[in-house]
Structure 1
């Protein structure tokens, strides 16, 4: 909503504080909330708190806030909506012909325990202040336990001390609708695409009864925090599921591991998003405000761009999946996908085939386009040439081609027999294999090893846990997964990965080349070991000359003569 329609300096407001605020709340706001939203919103909060405590119900104009804080009306508005979003302020509005009247309700901060349990707030605070400061704050707000070891509690209960009285309180003296302090930040998790998530989860994967309201809220929050789609969250839930049990802590931990494995090892940071109206206006202005548009494409999610170019309408699931696959399967960066969405909407309105979009993305990837600026320049060249189509020679990579390459590499490098047929058809196998290991993500590699099929949940979980615990570089981790997959005959598990990694660590294996060399040496040593018989090879002896001739040894001839004489004597 535009500022000139939302707030004016002459608009009046009143302040309401439903709960008494203490110095403890002031400490929580200063140490936990200020790093998230900045000093200006906190200054506005403290001013409203101070004015409301002594003169609640009095009305002011917004000039009062502007003078007291030395801030413009625009800065006041931005500070106000920051407080609303973080759960420290509720705003109510009434309009007349000339003026707007506001009521500002000052809310207390969340209790420290609830703050640190909330996945959004705790992670954003961690990303703002760093691990050491975060640990100090966590320790500071953790209740100190009283030393009661060896002691027995003897505290009396209420009924041990007091007895009931036979008197009834009048109905008009009873309190109804007692206000409660907020227990969570305002977050509408219905915006997450749960139908798409549930359609991809069969009862055999995860029983739908495990997706409770509490789990749904956690799913939506961690998906927002890490920028994960419904398809990503399916993998997260499969990793979090353990013996048909799904907990909020397991979902949060699995989402963190999946984020580190597929996106970045740097924690996500909080940032303000553009209002939909502003985003849509920017998406229309291709030829103007170049820098702002580039910044928007660099920061926005593909789904936000899709909604913007569709005039705010909800995006169809198949359309969203089509663009998400460019990121998850083909390693196209989100800013480039955003530019592609915008380019397609301007030049090819209506139905667009999946192959056409993939062809453009494949062409851009071959040209090394990774930023929004590069993608926009490439799109401008298409527009200038009035040729929005891609050359017919552009091909779309098939997952089966990578599957055959991985099979062939397993035979060429380590002599695993299943890849022998593929090795006979391909060339430059080792170099192509190394290049692939450097550019794909481990979950994509698992899918390639399964010939394009969805990898098993236990394999994905094993790889994700290993990556989270040991933080290997992606090329080396992919080489490990490839070798372990064929060594285990397709039955990856975490202990097996750790066992191979332990051998690599002892030999200081740190690159693809040294990993391949180690694997080759190990396979050769095993082959030599099992080529020997258990009983040993007897020494080779020279055979007697009479073996190959008709002449018999003397000992043999003497034996026959004695037998003939014995028979003759017996007859006589």
Structure 2
């Protein structure tokens, strides 16, 4: 699938923060989630979090690409990681003005919830190792209460008496909403019917397979890649004397079963979903095709940086390309083609008036792709050259009027892809000349009454 079908730099977005996040939650994201999802995902999460606190107006994804310094492909992949881990929810709306996304920041799990979750705790353990894992537990988990104390906290129903009243349906609608899980996880993939086949009612009563137990069984089966037949053994071993299945016993027995039957090493987290991306070429690319791919996969700010030898571009250049994307509505890939064409034909300069004149021409011609941009640049090069010379004459006149010495312009340099076009034409002309020579030779032989065979003998 092509990435532009899922997300484009000009697609707008806004961020919703349903609740304020605390310093403690920032620590959880940094210390617990970062080893699993990586620094790029955490940076994106914290950036969105900060933006949402200021209630900013809608932006386009090109802005996010510049802020994070990442191409569109990486932005999409990072967003998917945040969604999968439960830190971000994404909503999309399509209307006459294009696509608009709403990103909702989700609160991270607390330390106790995180350590009790079999998937997240195991993947964190596998990433940071045993000693750092133990230190995190000690640092973030409160010590267990003294065993001599008995909890006497009163519950809600101990204190309050329910009062029946007819409430409007729109007020009670929230009661019917499905419970939000800590992170998106699908349970339908596990075959509980197969699990029950090998477990009689006497061995494991149906009452033991509570909804929470089923959730834990599914997560453990996914984590350790265990089949329903494997999980039968785990469930039997985890059942306590009261025919209950607790999360702790299930996790302990699944871990032991994995060590004995599969590996003593902890399982690793790997991506299993193919992300939409720029379609890879099926055949070796030409120079021109590589040029198109570079324009399509590189943010304009990085193109400017490449032209500057890796240094950050001037603010005026950044402002110019942002203006082309945001105000002119040009595709970033087309802006890249325009920047390269102008810089290579103006001795590595980026004259604002000249760039805007060509951009205005491309917009009137409805240029949407780099192929269209390249063809139009080749076709209208002489006209663009005239615009450039006219601007240079004005600059020269202004310079001479101040008494400064006039210097001749440097010889124009053209991009490689532009020169390739001329090389192809030269090859075609050479072929045409050969055909004309062959025709002339044939006419001469006819006048002499000879044919090729007689001459070559």
TM-score normalised to structure 1 length? 0.43
CA shift, 1:105, in A, is 0.2
CA shift, 1:249, in A, is 1.7
Asked if the contact 1:226/1:259 (under 8 Å) is kept, the reply is yes
- For residues 238 and 64 of structure 2, the distance between their equivalents in structure 1, rounded to whole angstroms, comes to 48
- For residues 144 and 251 of structure 2, the distance between their equivalents in structure 1, rounded to whole angstroms, comes to 27
1:397-546 alignment to 2 at 5 Å? Answer: none
CA shift, 1:240, in A, is 1.7
Unaligned runs of 5+ in 2: 157-164, 283-457
CA shift, 1:209, in A, is 2.5
- Give the 3 Å change call, closer, same or farther, for CA 177–156 of structure 1 in structure 2: closer
State the Cα deviation string for residues 446-467 of structure 1 (Å, max 9, x = none).
xxxxxxxxxxxxxxxxxxxxxx
- Give the 3 Å change call, closer, same or farther, for CA 153–84 of structure 1 in structure 2: closer
Partner of 1:77: 76
Partner of 2:252: 253
CA shift, 1:239, in A, is 1.9
Q: Within the alignment, does 1:111 sit opposite 2:110 as a pair?
A: yes
1:269-280 alignment to 2 at 5 Å? Answer: 269-275=268-274
Partner of 2:24: 24
Partner of 1:143: 142
CA shift, 1:153, in A, is 11
Select the structure with the greater relative contact order (CA < 8 A; seq sep ≥ 6): 2
1:170-569 alignment to 2 at 5 Å? Answer: 177=174, 184-243=182-241, 244-275=243-274
- Give the 3 Å change call, closer, same or farther, for CA 92–132 of structure 1 in structure 2: same
State the Cα deviation string for residues 425-446 of structure 1 (Å, max 9, x = none).
xxxxxxxxxxxxxxxxxxxxxx
State the Cα deviation string for residues 273-304 of structure 1 (Å, max 9, x = none).
133999xx99xx9xxxxxxxxxxxxxxxxxxx
- Give the 3 Å change call, closer, same or farther, for CA 137–62 of structure 1 in structure 2: same
Asked if the contact 1:19/1:181 (under 8 Å) is kept, the reply is no
Asked if the contact 1:110/1:182 (under 8 Å) is kept, the reply is no
- Give the 3 Å change call, closer, same or farther, for CA 145–75 of structure 1 in structure 2: same
CA shift, 1:175, in A, is 10
Partner of 2:86: 87
CA shift, 1:5, in A, is 1.6
Partner of 2:40: 40
State the Cα deviation string for residues 239-290 of structure 1 (Å, max 9, x = none).
2224333222221111101100011000011111133999xx99xx9xxxxx
Unaligned runs of 5+ in 1: 159-167, 286-572
- For residues 197 and 215 of structure 1, the distance between their equivalents in structure 2, rounded to whole angstroms, comes to 13
- For residues 63 and 14 of structure 1, the distance between their equivalents in structure 2, rounded to whole angstroms, comes to 13
- For residues 114 and 85 of structure 1, the distance between their equivalents in structure 2, rounded to whole angstroms, comes to 17
SS class of match (1:190) = coil
- For residues 144 and 262 of structure 2, the distance between their equivalents in structure 1, rounded to whole angstroms, comes to 39
- For residues 153 and 242 of structure 1, the distance between their equivalents in structure 2, rounded to whole angstroms, comes to 23
The runs of at least 4 aligned residues of structure 1 exceeding 4 Å deviation read 144-150, 152-158, 174-183
CA shift, 1:157, in A, is 12
- Give the 3 Å change call, closer, same or farther, for CA 180–60 of structure 1 in structure 2: farther
Asked if the contact 2:6/2:276 (under 8 Å) is kept, the reply is no
- For residues 113 and 206 of structure 1, the distance between their equivalents in structure 2, rounded to whole angstroms, comes to 29
Partner of 1:99: 98
- For residues 248 and 20 of structure 2, the distance between their equivalents in structure 1, rounded to whole angstroms, comes to 33
- Give the 3 Å change call, closer, same or farther, for CA 182–140 of structure 1 in structure 2: farther
State the Cα deviation string for residues 123-168 of structure 1 (Å, max 9, x = none).
1111111110000000111125789989x9999999xxxxxxxxx9
SS class of match (1:191) = coil
- For residues 237 and 21 of structure 1, the distance between their equivalents in structure 2, rounded to whole angstroms, comes to 38
Asked if the contact 2:3/2:276 (under 8 Å) is kept, the reply is no
CA shift, 1:96, in A, is 3.0
CA shift, 1:238, in A, is 2.0
SS class of match (1:268) = coil
- Give the 3 Å change call, closer, same or farther, for CA 51–277 of structure 1 in structure 2: closer
Q: Within the alignment, does 1:121 sit opposite 2:117 as a pair?
A: no
Asked if the contact 1:83/1:89 (under 8 Å) is kept, the reply is yes
Give the greater-gyration-radius structure (CA).
1
Asked if the contact 2:65/2:71 (under 8 Å) is kept, the reply is yes
SS class of match (2:188) = helix
Q: How many residues align?
A: 278
CA shift, 1:191, in A, is 1.6
Partner of 2:131: 132
